[in-house]
Structure 1
């Protein structure tokens, strides 16, 4: 019996949620809330518009700007994805984005609020430029530019930026590496077939 794709996505979301909900992992709220407060006069940055953007088509949590962010993050974090041929890369990217979205959607309201603050700060100029050095849209970012931004956050003396980088990297990497199609590239032989089928029958 072939594993049910729906069960596979649920397993991916559960694995990612477990990795992202360890003690202290999402404590990014205070720093990002302060940054958002500094943009109170710019509704598009502060998230104070009359209606919040709807999720991206086919997604439950990720908005179009969030999808653009993770499309830039994925090849920068998962180098083998950036090296894949276009058709395979597109398929893997699509499935990884679905996993990331499922993980975010499965989180509690508090964690989702912290993620929304983080994603909101990275969505538009000029705050994105100030925090990441990225002047252009995420769709125009190169893997090298994204890697430089993540390295900057990881090396920052601000714990808030350190935590933000960890969250982004974990979401992208876990969303990708739980894909069965990605196991060979990571050296993982895959779960025991009998056990996998018993759990996902």
Structure 2
């Protein structure tokens, strides 16, 4: 089953974003911690400069590698985004990334630490290649490659990989479907116009 096949049912509202910040949502587990710790065995991978640790320009939590990851994830998970004309796709992806960043920034320190472990694994080429089958940078990954890796994680016997796939898909899909511009594609008619206007006045 394609990873994005059931995400059209996502409810694009602030409540869905808030649900991702609840205590206990991210339980990626010790498997990711142990795998990430293995990078210390390779000197060239162990160090991170201050630039590497700084958020991407315009972001509060996501780093440049994380932005590249979600730019690859979004069209692989959201069908209508992949099919949109390039200018519209770029605009929607930009806005979705800002939502994803805001969600991550709103999480507690524990959840953020688990996210950082997961993103760190996926930013490190040897581990990314071993765990996802994707050797090149995320900027060169195709939607088909990303879908294959997500399906592999969802079908894995390792709970940590299952959890990682769920986190990535939920962050990407909710980040996209909370956008008013995405509501038509999701089949969501949008909130009551008067209430929406009052809340966003």
TM exceeds 0.5? yes
CA gap of 1:153–1:44, structure 2 versus 1, over 3 A, is farther
Q: Give the C-alpha shift of residue 187 in structure 1.
A: 1.0
Alignment of 1:15 onto 2:31: no
Equivalent residues in 2 for 1:98-117, closer than 5 Å: 98-117=98-117
147-156 vs 24-33, which deviates more? Answer: 24-33
Aligned to 2:48: 49
Aligned to 1:186: 186
CA gap of 1:121–1:92, structure 2 versus 1, over 3 A, is same
CA gap of 1:50–1:90, structure 2 versus 1, over 3 A, is closer
CA contact (8 A) 1:13 1:106 kept: no
Aligned to 1:148: 148
Alignment of 1:73 onto 2:101: no
CA gap of 1:45–1:79, structure 2 versus 1, over 3 A, is farther
Q: Give the C-alpha shift of residue 124 in structure 1.
A: 2.0
Q: Secondary structure at the match of 1:36?
A: helix
Cα RMSD of the aligned pairs, angstroms, is: 1.8
Aligned to 1:28: 28
> 1:59-78: per-residue Cα shift (whole Å, max 9, x none)?
11000000000000000000
Inter-partner Cα distance in structure 2 for 1:13 and 1:57: 24
CA contact (8 A) 2:39 2:45 kept: yes
The number of residues matched between the two structures is 189
Q: Any unmatched runs of 5+ in structure 1?
A: 1-10
Q: Give the C-alpha shift of residue 41 in structure 1.
A: 1.9
Q: Any unmatched runs of 5+ in structure 2?
A: 1-11
CA gap of 1:111–1:43, structure 2 versus 1, over 3 A, is farther
